Amino acid sequence: MGSCNLCKYPSEDKIIEKDNTLETPVEALKEKKPKNDISEINIDYRVNTVSSGISVNNSISESIYIIPTEISKHENIKKFYEISTTILGRGGSSYIFLSKKNNSRFAVKQVLKGGVAKPEEILREANISLSLKHEHIIKFYEIFEDYYSIYFVMELGDYGDLFEFITFSEQGYLSPDITIDLLIQIFEAVDYLHNNRKIIHRDIKAENFVLCINEYNQLNIKLIDFGLAIKKPENGEILYDIIGTRKYQSPEMINGNGYDEKVDEWALGVVMFSMLTGYEPFRRTGDHKLEESILYDGINFEIIPDDDLRLLNARLLDRNVDTRITCQEALNFLKNLKLHRDPLYNDQYYLYQRNMFIDEYKRAINEKLNLYRRDTL
């Protein structure tokens, strides 16, 4: 696992058994077809339990919610997609399975309705996910629903997430060259969200970017997980909720004085620091200590091995929201840097040649990813 200093593996066991909620029925959902909003329905069913050797047939009535048919198909997803037992990742109340339809592979995110996300939140994630269209944002194809879960069918990030990419790399951190290539794509995605779609992601972190290889054999990175994403308020309303992963939370969010989309720029600063150094910038243990560290500790920018990138990283991890660099400015900075260092940057043939080194990387990461996944398709 190289000499990586970030910690997700091996303490967390990524391999878990297939989740049997994939088998839950959908008939009751089909009878009631909510059009516009979330509805509650009662479902009745019988279960057979065996207690002390005696079989008991129980009648159970449960109340569940369903989201509008315009957004989710009330069909059994297994009729349309083969769902493998390979788990690509998991969250608080979600599992991401490798799936297949005809000869194409997909990722399916199963979100349990009884989990931490409230119905309105799942509906919001569904709406936002389906509405996004950008080269560096994972494409969401369709959504299915049964009694207990919502299933998001999306494009597969075949080469794992950015956290895995950093930790599985030879040295445990990335070179300035690869970092610049990836950051340009990352900032394009977030700039599209902020400026084109007026959406704040609010959960930017290394685990929420996945990697794939495009037709020119180039490494492509895509943003995922719109579970906390929200439209920028237009009516002067201020956002206060303290959400997301603590290590990535910005000082203004922690301070509780209200925040805007600049929380994403801060989190991108944390991602960038981890890419270049293999260390998270704030890593004191315990919530309170971590908070203090984010608010007051000096950041060890000296360990970033590149003058220009060190400067940019400090402009992202700027505690003053007003002077913190925006995505658009960061993107311009990176593109200029790239052109300056790599004058053939815009030449397609050159790019193709240069990216052949990816083949070697592909072999290495596949080997490592396979240790954590069981591919059954």
Ligand X SMILES: Nc1ncnc2c1ncn2[C@@H]1O[C@H](COP(=O)(O)OP(=O)(O)O)[C@@H](O)[C@H]1O
Residue number, 112 or 351, with CB nearest to ligand X: 112
Residue number, 202 or 368, with CB nearest to Mg ion: 202
Binding residues for ligand X restricted to 276-335, rule: CB under 6 A: none
Q: Which residue is nearest to ligand X (CB)?
A: 91
Applying CB under 5 A, the site for Mg ion has a residue count of 2
Residue number, 143 or 325, with CB nearest to Mg ion: 143
How crowded is the C-beta side of 201, counted as CA atoms within 13 Å? 29
Residue number, 158 or 252, with CB nearest to ligand X: 158
CA distance 13 to 374: 13
Position 259, amino acid: Y
Q: How far is the CB of 12 from ligand X (least distance, A)?
A: 11
Is residue 128 within the footprint of ligand X (CB under 6 A)?
no
Residue number, 34 or 244, with CB nearest to Mg ion: 244
Tell me whether residue 114 is exposed, middle or buried, using C-beta atoms within 10 angstroms of its C-beta: 0 to 12, 13 to 18, 19 or more.
exposed
Q: How far is the CB of 352 from Mg ion (least distance, A)?
A: 32
Q: Residue 109 binds which entry of ligand X, Mg ion, none, with Cβ cut-offs from 5 to 8 Å by kind?
A: ligand X
Using the rule CB under 6 A, which residue among 10, 92, 258, 305 binds ligand X? 92
Judged by DSSP in three states, 82 sits in strand
CB atoms within 10 A of CB 377: 11
Is residue 154 within the footprint of ligand X (CB under 6 A)?
yes
Residue number, 29 or 108, with CB nearest to Mg ion: 108
Is residue 149 within the footprint of ligand X (CB under 6 A)?
no
Binding residues for ligand X restricted to 204-233, rule: CB under 6 A: 207-208, 210, 224-225, 227
Region binding ligand X by CB under 6 A among candidate stretches 72-80, 156-164, 279-287, 309-317: 156-164
161 among known catalytic residues:
no
How crowded is the C-beta side of 322, counted as CA atoms within 13 Å? 0
Using the rule CB under 5 A, which residue among 225, 261, 280, 291 binds Mg ion? 225
Q: How far is the CB of 295 from ligand X (least distance, A)?
A: 25
Catalytic hit among 191, 203, 225, 264:
203
CB atoms within 10 A of CB 140: 21
Is residue 164 within the footprint of Mg ion (CB under 5 A)?
no
Name the one residue in this structure whose structure tokens are 């029925």: 25
Q: How far is the CB of 93 from ligand X (least distance, A)?
A: 7
Q: How far is the CB of 128 from ligand X (least distance, A)?
A: 13
Q: Which long-range contacts (CB under 8 A, 24 or more apart) does 367-374 make?
A: 368/1, 368/164, 368/168, 369/159, 369/160, 369/164, 369/168, 372/9, 372/14, 372/15, 373/14, 373/15, 373/86, 373/87, 373/88, 373/98, 374/15, 374/85, 374/86
CA distance 87 to 27: 27
Q: List the one residue out of 201, 199, 200, 206 whose CA is nearest residue 182.
A: 206
Binding residues for Mg ion restricted to 180-209, rule: CB under 5 A: 208
Omega of the bond leading into 10 within 30 degrees of 0 (cis): yes
Strands (E), 197-336: 199-200, 209-213, 219-223, 230-231
- Cβ-Cβ contacts under 8 Å for 43 (sequence gap 6 or more): 28, 61, 62, 63, 64, 147
Applying CB under 6 A, the site for ligand X has a residue count of 20
Residues serving a catalytic function are 203
The residues of the shown chain that bind Mg ion, judged by CB under 5 A, are 208, 225
The residues of the shown chain that bind ligand X, judged by CB under 6 A, are 88-89, 91-92, 94, 96, 107, 109, 138, 154-157, 161, 207-208, 210, 224-225, 227
